């Protein structure tokens, strides 16, 4: 009879522990993670399609993963559903979608002609993507980073790097490159350059701060967005080729803009 209170206290403690383990999770935390998992499914499907030599569908799956990756982060911020778990899941999905999937796709389409050297190039692309994502996650915690620096990425972001690496396939689909295996000696060095761009210190423009648009520019921006979607659907490979070339052409502009901002900061610091 004297042990009853102790048993009762133990039962209450177990019930509280179960409630903590199975506490309710708001839906706003689940939706972004569901989109991230859909992007991961798309990236893994791209690997399967590459092995089956269905290259156009494989590239389309990678592009779908790029779109979903852009949506999940913005949705999380909009719903105030950001979490450490979601950030880690997003990084792991990005490595598969933008590191592993493009590397295997390029290897099967072209680089396997180079045998071991081609596989090494594919590994370099995947490894550089992983290093770029790790550096990005660490840089988020940098307290000394100036406010304007958020307008720039350090190196090409993983989705952009994947899109740029697949440029030879776009040209192949357009008939500019008749056979990926015949162009492997040019595709290989190009892929290495894109991999190095991802881990470089070169500043590139970031679109993450485009959350607010001036009222007088809303209609033009909407028009351009609709036109871009139409072009992507009607002329996907032409559109992706043009976007890739424009992105590469904008890198010198972003470097000049970054240096100008840094010089302004240094002048202010010297003046104070």
Please write the tens of the pLDDT for every residue from 7-56: 555 555 555 555 555 566 666 678 888 999 999 999 999 999 999 999 99
DSSP assignments along 57-121, one per residue: HHHHHHHHHHHHHHHHHHHHHHTT---HHHHHHHHHHHHIIIIIHHHHHHHHHTGGGGTHHHHHH
Please write the tens of the pLDDT for every residue from 77-115: 787 767 788 888 999 999 999 999 999 999 999 999 999
Please write the tens of the pLDDT for every residue from 231-261: 989 999 999 999 999 999 999 999 999 899 8
**Between 184 and 150, the higher pLDDT residue:** 184
Name the least confident of 19-23, 194-198, 224-228: 19-23
Hey, where are the domains in the chain? 24-141+150-211+218-261
Q: Is the pLDDT of residue 212 over 70?
A: no
- Per-residue model confidence (pLDDT) at position 8: 52
- Strands 152-154 and 203-205 come out as antiparallel
Name the least confident of 122-131, 187-196, 228-237: 228-237
Q: Where residue 183 falls among pLDDT bands split at 50, 70, 90?
A: very high
CATH of domain 24-141+150-211+218-261: 1.20.120
Q: Where residue 2 falls among pLDDT bands split at 50, 70, 90?
A: very low
Query: Mean pLDDT: which of 11-20, 66-75, 201-210, 262-271 is highest?
Result: 66-75
- Per-residue model confidence (pLDDT) at position 262: 85
Tokens representing 177 are 């490159």
* Average of per-residue pLDDT values in the chain: 85
Predicted structure pTM score: 0.85
Q: Is the pLDDT of residue 124 over 90?
A: yes
Tell me the C-alpha distance between 171 and 163, whole Å: 13
């Amino acid at each position: 009879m004297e042990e009853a209170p102790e048993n009762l206290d133990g039962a209450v403690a177990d019930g509280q522990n179960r409630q903590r383990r199975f506490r309710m999770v708001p839906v706003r935390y689940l939706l972004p993670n569901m989109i991230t998992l859909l992007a991961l499914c798309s990236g893994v499907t791209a690997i399967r399609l590459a092995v089956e030599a269905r290259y156009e569908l494989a590239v389309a799956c990678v592009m779908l993963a790029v779109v979903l990756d852009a949506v999940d982060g913005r949705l999380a911020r909009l719903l105030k559903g950001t979490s450490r778990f979601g950030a880690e899941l997003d990084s792991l999905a990005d490595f598969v979608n933008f590191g592993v999937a493009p590397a295997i796709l390029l290897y099967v389409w072209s680089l396997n002609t180079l045998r071991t050297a081609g596989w090494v190039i594919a590994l370099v692309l995947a490894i550089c993507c992983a290093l770029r994502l790790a550096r990005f996650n660490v840089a988020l915690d940098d307290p000394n980073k100036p406010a304007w620096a958020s307008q720039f990425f350090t190196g090409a972001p993983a989705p952009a790097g994947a899109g740029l690496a697949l440029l030879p396939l776009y040209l192949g689909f357009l008939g500019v490159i008749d056979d990926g295996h015949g162009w492997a000696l040019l595709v290989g060095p190009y892929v290495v350059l894109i991999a190095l761009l991802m881990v470089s210190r070169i500043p590139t423009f970031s679109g993450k701060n485009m959350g607010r648009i001036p009222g007088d520019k809303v209609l033009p921006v909407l028009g351009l967005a609709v036109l871009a979607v139409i072009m992507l659907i009607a002329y996907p490979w032409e559109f992706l080729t043009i976007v890739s070339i424009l992105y590469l052409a904008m890198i010198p502009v972003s470097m000049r803009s970054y240096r100008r901002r840094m010089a302004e900061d240094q002048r202010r610091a010297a003046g104070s």
